Chain A
C-alpha cells in the first residue's frame, strides 16, 4: 500500500539482550494499531528502531515503497513519520507557537497562527495560548501539544508512546476521540498504551509484545480473551477485562 508502515522480521540487540526478536507488524493509513505488553517488552524500542534511534540487527522497516531502516533519524522524520514520547519531550523553554513550527520544520518551518490554532484544535486543546511557554503548561495540555507538534509534520504515520499516562478516565475518553479523528484523516496510528479501556475504544487491531517477541495479534476483544496475554500482561482483575 502506498503509505503503509511495515516492520518485517525486525530484531534489535541492546548489550547482550535481544530487545526485539523477529517482530513483524503493519500500520495502515486510516487505521489504529495498538501495541501493548509488559514494561521492558520492547515497545519503546520498536518506536526507537522505526525512527532511527536504534540499529536493526535483523529485518527491515519499509514506509510505502521505501526502505527506511538505516536512515538517520532526521531523514525518517522527513519521510513522514512523527512521534510523541513516553516522558514528554517538548522544547520546554520555547513557546507553543515555536514548538508547533518545530513540528512543521520538515515541511516549511514556518506556521501561520491560524494553522497553529488548527493544529491545537485537532489535538483537542484549541484554547492553549500560542505565547505560553511549553514547560509551564499543565501536564495534560503538554501531552496534547506533543500530539499537535506531531501533526504539524503532516505525517503519514503517527506513533504515540503512552499518551494517556497520568490521565484520568474522563480525560482518556476525550483522547479516544482525538485518536480516532487523526485516523479518520487518513493517517496511520501506532498506539502504545497500558490503559486497556483506551486500547479497546481506539484501536482497530492490537499486537502484544512480550520479551521482545510478538505474543499475540488480533482485535482488542480477541486479545482481552487470550489466555497467554492475560497471564503475561492483563492479570485477572475485573478492571482489565471489564
Chain B
C-alpha cells in the first residue's frame, strides 16, 4: 500500500444554518486518481472547497503529506502544492490567457515562469489564444485554461471539480486525456465528476457521496460493476 498523500478525516462543513458535509472521510494515495461521484447537492463541491480551505470546516481534519493543515488558509495550501480547479471555470477575465498563467505560475517563481512554454505545448489551443482576455474564451478553451493554471502552480495534489461540465464530447475526451496523462506523470488527483462513467473508468479508487456522506467506496472497476451505482448514477 503506497503512502496517503491527502487524508480527509471526519470533516463537517456547511453554509449558514445548512449542514452539507456530515462526517466525510476520504484517503488519496500518492500518484493515484480518486473519483467522487454522486447526485447534485450531495456535497461533492463543498467537500473540495472544504479541503482547499475556501469553505470553513466545522469539524474534522485534513492532512497533507502527514502534516495537519486543517487550520491553514487557502493560500498556504497552494504554497504546499495543493491546487484546486473549481467548477464553473472562473478566472481573471480581464487579463489575457498568458497573464492568467503567469499569475498562477508566480507561486513557483522562476521555475514556474519557465514552465509556461511547456504548458502551451500541452494545450496548443491556449497558445493560439495567448493574448485574448480570459473572459472572451469559449467554454472548452476556458476549461483548458483553468486546468493549465492549476498545472502552472506545480501541484502535488490536484482537486478537480467537474472539469467536463458543459463541454462538447470531443473536448470531454481531451480533458480526460489530460487528466490521465497527469496521473501518469505522478500527480495525485481528487476528481469530482457528474460524468460518472468516464470518471470511474480512469479512477484507481472511487467514493460515492449521498447527502453529505460517503455511502460506498472501492476501486473504480468495482464501482463500475456495482449494480446500485449503475442504476442510480449511470442511468443504465
Q: Which of A86, A139, A140, A170 contacts B166 (CB 8 A)?
A: A86
A237 to chain B: closest residue by CB: B173
User: CA separation between A172 and B198, bound complex, in Å?
Assistant: 16
Q: Is the CB of B141 within 8 A of A169?
A: no
Counting CB contacts under 8 A, is A171 at the interface? yes
Counting CB contacts under 8 A, is A167 at the interface? yes
User: CA separation between A37 and B169, bound complex, in Å?
Assistant: 9
Please give, as numbers and ranges, the residues of chain A lying within 8 Å of B170 by CB-CB distance.
38, 232-235, 240
CB interface residues, A 205-242, toward B, < 8 Å:
232-237, 239-240
Q: Is the CB of A140 within 8 A of B40?
A: yes
B194 to chain A: closest residue by CB: A168
Please give, as numbers and ranges, the residues of chain A lying within 8 Å of B171 by CB-CB distance.
38-39
Q: Is the CB of B169 within 8 A of A138?
A: no
Q: Is the CB of A162 within 8 A of B166?
A: yes
Please give, as numbers and ranges, the residues of chain B lying within 8 Å of A165 by CB-CB distance.
165-166
Q: Is the CB of A139 within 8 A of B169?
A: no
User: CA separation between A140 and B40, bound complex, in Å?
Assistant: 6
Counting CB contacts under 8 A, is B233 at the interface? yes
Please give, as numbers and ranges, the residues of chain B lying within 8 Å of A237 by CB-CB distance.
169, 173
1/0 contact trace for A153-172 toward B, CB 8 Å?
00000000010011111111
Please give, as numbers and ranges, the residues of chain B lying within 8 Å of A97 by CB-CB distance.
none
Q: Is the CB of A194 within 8 A of B169?
A: yes
Counting CB contacts under 8 A, is A109 at the interface? no
User: CA separation between A194 and B141, bound complex, in Å?
Assistant: 15
Counting CB contacts under 8 A, is A126 at the interface? no
Counting CB contacts under 8 A, is A181 at the interface? no
Q: A38-B168, A39-B139 are in contact. Are A166 and B234 (CB under 8 A)?
A: no
**How many A residues touch the partner, as a band?**
20 to 34
Please report the number of residue pairs spanning A and B whose Cβ atoms sit closer than 8 angstroms: 92
Counting CB contacts under 8 A, is B197 at the interface? yes
Q: Is the CB of A169 within 8 A of B41?
A: no
Q: Is the CB of A166 within 8 A of B235?
A: no
The interface centre, meaning the residue of A162, A165, A168, A235 with most chain B CB atoms within 10 A of its CB, is: A168
Q: Is the CB of A168 within 8 A of B39?
A: yes
Q: A39-B139, A40-B140, A40-B141 are in contact. Are A168 and B169 (CB under 8 A)?
A: no
Q: Is the CB of B235 within 8 A of A170?
A: yes
CB distance from A148 to the nearest CB of B (A): 17
CB distance from A114 to the nearest CB of B (A): 27
Counting CB contacts under 8 A, is A173 at the interface? yes
B170 to chain A: closest residue by CB: A235
User: CA separation between A79 and B28, bound complex, in Å?
Assistant: 55
The interface centre, meaning the residue of A139, A162, A172, A194 with most chain B CB atoms within 10 A of its CB, is: A194
Q: Is the CB of A173 within 8 A of B168?
A: no
CB interface residues, B 168-204, toward A, < 8 Å:
168-174, 194-198
Q: Is the CB of B40 within 8 A of A168?
A: yes
User: CA separation between A165 and B198, bound complex, in Å?
Assistant: 16
CB interface residues, B 118-141, toward A, < 8 Å:
138-141
Please give, as numbers and ranges, the residues of chain B lying within 8 Å of A168 by CB-CB distance.
37-40, 194-196, 233-235
Counting CB contacts under 8 A, is B232 at the interface? yes
The interface centre, meaning the residue of B41, B139, B141, B198 with most chain A CB atoms within 10 A of its CB, is: B139
Counting CB contacts under 8 A, is B27 at the interface? no
A172 to chain B: closest residue by CB: B235
A137 to chain B: closest residue by CB: B41
User: CA separation between A168 and B171, bound complex, in Å?
Assistant: 18
CB interface residues, A 159-192, toward B, < 8 Å:
162, 165-173
CB distance from B73 to the nearest CB of A (A): 27
Counting CB contacts under 8 A, is A196 at the interface? yes
CB distance from B192 to the nearest CB of A (A): 11
User: CA separation between A235 and B175, bound complex, in Å?
Assistant: 12
Counting CB contacts under 8 A, is B162 at the interface? yes
Q: Is the CB of A166 within 8 A of B197?
A: no
User: CA separation between A173 and B141, bound complex, in Å?
Assistant: 28
Q: Write 8 A-B pairs (CB below 8 A) sorted by A numbering.
A: A38-B138, A38-B170, A168-B39, A168-B235, A169-B197, A232-B170, A235-B174, A240-B169
20 additional contacts, CB 8 Å, given A139-B41, A166-B165, A168-B38? A38-B138, A39-B140, A39-B166, A39-B168, A86-B166, A162-B166, A165-B165, A166-B87, A168-B194, A170-B39, A170-B231, A170-B232, A171-B40, A194-B166, A194-B167, A197-B235, A232-B170, A234-B169, A235-B169, A235-B173
